[in-house]
Chains A and B, each alone.
Chain A
Amino acid sequence: MSVTVRIPTPLRTVTQGASTAQVEGDTVGAVVDALEAAHPGIGERILDGAGAVRRFVNIFVDDEDIRFQQGLATPVRDGTTVSIIPAVAGG
């Protein structure tokens, strides 16, 4: 399950400037774990101490907010794009 993750600007300090990452995983949670393995430190930026998505982070699977899906349990298919986007914009 190769998944493309789009990395937002604030997290690119952890990815050495890369704007995307290729990782393996069959759920959003597994993708976040794989990201952490590839880029240590990124996990705590996305998830809070209780392991939930931080309230100012939005995650989209194929352009759909995972809060409208199954949260971190949302399945991802081979070739899916996962976007991590700061929630604090707009209005």
Chain B
Amino acid sequence: MCQVSYVEALRCRECGRTYPLAALHVCEFCFGPLEVAYDYDAIARNVDHATIAAGPRSIWRYSALLPELDGGSERVDLGAGYTPLVPAPRLGEALGLDDLWLKNDTVNPSFSFKDRVTSVALTAARALGFDTAACASTGNLAQSVAAHAARAGMAAYVFIPSDLEEGKILGAAVYGPKVVAVNGNYDDVNRLCAEVAGEYGWAFVNVNLRPYYAEGSKTIGFEVAEQLGWRLPDHVIAPMASGSMLVKIDKAFSELIRVGLVKEGTAYRISGAQATGCSPITRAMKDGTGVVRPVRPDTVAKSLAIGNPADGYYAIDAVTRTGGAMEDVSDAEIVDAITLLARTEGIFGETAGGVTVACLAKLAAAGVVGRGERTVAVISGLGLKTLDALVGTVGPAFTIAPGLGDFSAALDRAQPAQEVPA
């Protein structure tokens, strides 16, 4: 399946040293993150809207701008991506925004945006000769890696905090990986995996394969641009855990401009959303220091509960450079926003989606996001994964015996002296 590859090398984002295309994620000299470097001139010559439109309806339509390695066998592909970008007029009205859109990533194969990064990472893993997949996860990635490993016939070890939502633990375990539940928070899991990755020859998608993995998130930006008719939106708001997704949406937009796929509507802003109970990035942005200090997470938004975010600095750079903002919200605001999103637009987002919508509400109320801006909010995962957050907030209107009289009586009690539509 591997087509022409435009990948040149891995390059340190901090010091610029280059490395061969291998399972490496850290610069040996300065510990900076390695990033995939492309031959953009060749991409600009060979790729246009038509070649992309002729591709599959998945992230792989943008394969020219993804790190697909020579010598790879088949892609590890469950059909991630090309998710709907839908106008959100009722939510927009509630928030005071006239041109609001939702990137509905709840409909991915394992129900979160993580399928984008996993598909890219495990495709690279196979090209590099790995037979075992692994990850450190707050839940969504574990499910995605387990699903894609099953698809590819790879063994899998997924490491998670032991106190995750039941839906996320079972939702990963069902695919048959070894689920390693660690008594600690995500940062503990992550540290353990950084060490395990050094000892075992496994493809840790977000450790030793992180340069490839992270590139998968660019496809959110590519799709948004294509779905808007190859124009960029005025404003994108994305949830932040490590900050990587936001950074890669920014990179996607920059690349589209650079290779000439977007020629109009090239000005954009990016804003980031966190839960107040785990807000090391927004705090660094708001306090003006720009220094990301690790925190101990305490939030209902467990998928965003990374206290020591790897891409925090780059997220601050992207938001600052594009003139965006960062905001954070309480657990109560997150739950309210999940129900608001569901009730106005029929999309059931997980807690991270609640974080994004609640932060957007705050930024819109403050005038930071303008009423007329074409704004895209990324809804990154499905609400069924985090039902725990809703317990006690929504439920049956009536619980009754199965008789018409019982129903009528209940309705009368609920709506006394009001007309009931026939």
Contacts and interface: CB of A to CB of B under 8 A. Distances in A.
B118 to A, nearest CB: 13
Contacts of B33: 56, 88
A39 interface: no
Interface stretch (A8-16, A24-32, A72-80): A8-16
Given A68-B294, A85-B195, A91 B306 contact: yes
**Which size class do A's interface residues fall under?**
20 to 34
Contact of A91 (B188, B243, B294): B243
Nearest to B214: A91
B30 A65 contact: no
A88 B26 contact: yes
A85 B293 CA distance: 16
Interface residues of B, number: 40
B48 interface: no
Contacts, number: 90
A83 B309 contact: no
B310 A87 contact: yes
Contacts of B398: none
A91 B311 CA distance: 8
A19 B198 contact: yes
Given A19-B198, A89-B190, 20 more contacts: A9-B26, A9-B198, A13-B28, A45-B30, A56-B26, A58-B191, A63-B188, A63-B191, A83-B191, A83-B195, A85-B195, A88-B25, A88-B31, A89-B193, A89-B194, A89-B310, A90-B186, A90-B306, A90-B310, A91-B309
23 contacts: A8-B26, A8-B198, A10-B31, A11-B28, A19-B198, A54-B30, A56-B14, A56-B26, A67-B294, A86-B25, A86-B26, A86-B31, A87-B31, A88-B32, A89-B136, A89-B190, A89-B194, A89-B204, A89-B206, A91-B244, A91-B306, A91-B310, A91-B311
Interface of B: 14, 25-33, 136, 186-188, 190-191, 193-195, 197-199, 204, 206-207, 210, 241-244, 292-294, 296, 306, 308-311, 313
Interface of A: 6, 8-11, 13, 19, 45, 54-58, 60, 63, 65, 67-68, 83, 85-91
